[in-house]
Amino acid sequence: MFARVVFLYAISYGETHFYYTNANKDVLYNNHLYLAIPIKHGDMDNNSDEVTKAKVELTITNQCDFIAEMINQYDVFLTDIKIMRYYLSTGDVETEFIGRLSTIQFSVKDASCSFVNLLYDTQRYAMRMIYQRQCPFALYGEQCKANKYSHSTVTSAELWTRIDDFHLQYSGKLPEHTFGGILVLPNNSPVFVRYIENNSIVTTSRPVYDAYLDNENNPYVIIYAGCNRTIEMCEEVFANSENYGGFVKLPIDNPIKKNSMSNGAETIKNNVLASYLKGQLK
């Protein structure tokens, strides 16, 4: 018998795609057949913020096409995974994790794969550190260190209305720094705020279903402030400049694009033109 909730695993290995599920029979979703095989991943706390879902350990049977390809051409292609929570009764799908394969270990019966979330992982520090004025750190993450509870606003769930999958409306006035922040809904599911219209309609980072706003057990929606990743906001709003990851003293103009010879020639040309015009005016 089907469980009420199963997981779908979409794996991309170069140009090849594999679709698997931990259900007890195949699942057809979005025109792809997810094959039922022995596969599972480590615990992911659905109540935690997305920034803490830095990596996932996946265990998968050796008797599948994906592992066969890995054994034949290991480390040739980048390997990505998308893990989705699939509700059998309604057909709703939630994206739980998106990441890239970092390590793999083989045993007699199965393989253990470690996937890293490239968007929020703080262990791959060098990959995310580029020379830029804006801060690259994940808001409220390990390196940001800002205390999200100090920048939270608790609102009544009754003031929130679902418009469609990606839009919520708030009947009050949203806090000043809601844009780019996080909403934690009554079912403890966090979503990121991607856009705000008329200071009341919020566009979310992923679908929000009616059940998310069911406030029978939790009558609150918590808003955690967002950040525009500038040193000014880091100082004035979060008082967190000591953990700022950007390079604020980088020149705004790119010096590499400047040519001293061309700049000099431009100056000479302007001086000659000025002298000519001055002579014409006499």
Within a domain: residue 196? no
122: how many CB neighbours lie within 10 A of its CB?
Answer: 15
Query: For the chain, how many structural domains are there in total?
Result: 2
Same domain membership, residue 111 and residue 17: yes
Q: Which of 125, 155, 172 is the last residue of a domain?
A: 125
Instruction: Give the residue-averaged pLDDT of 1-23.
Output: 86
The more confidently predicted of residues 4 and 59 is: 59
What global pTM score does this model have?
0.50
C-alpha span between 267 and 273 (Å, rounded): 10
Q: Chain-wide mean pLDDT for the chain?
A: 81
Residue count of the chain = 282
Same domain membership, residue 135 and residue 85: no
User: Which pLDDT band, with edges at 50, 70 and 90, does 256 fall under?
Assistant: low
Residue 75 in this model has a pLDDT that exceeds 60: no
Same domain membership, residue 133 and residue 118: no
Same domain membership, residue 135 and residue 120: no
The strands making up 5-13's β-sheet, listed across from edge to edge, are 27-29, 32-36, 16-21, 5-13, 79-87, 93-106, 110-116, 55-61, 39-41
Same domain membership, residue 49 and residue 140: no
Within a domain: residue 193? no
pLDDT for residue 270: 62
Residue 127 in this model has a pLDDT that exceeds 90: no
User: Which pLDDT band, with edges at 50, 70 and 90, does 247 fall under?
Assistant: confident
Query: 3-class SS at 23?
Result: coil
Within a domain: residue 41? yes
Q: Which of 125, 159, 186 is the last residue of a domain?
A: 125
Same domain membership, residue 116 and residue 82: yes
Give the domain range for residue 72.
5-125
Same domain membership, residue 142 and residue 49: no
Residue 129 in this model has a pLDDT that exceeds 60: no
Q: Which of 91, 125, 159 is the last residue of a domain?
A: 125
Same domain membership, residue 139 and residue 46: no
Check which CATH number belongs to the domain holding 40 and give it: 2.40.10
Within a domain: residue 203? no
The more confidently predicted of residues 280 and 208 is: 208
The more confidently predicted of residues 76 and 172 is: 172
Same domain membership, residue 97 and residue 69: yes
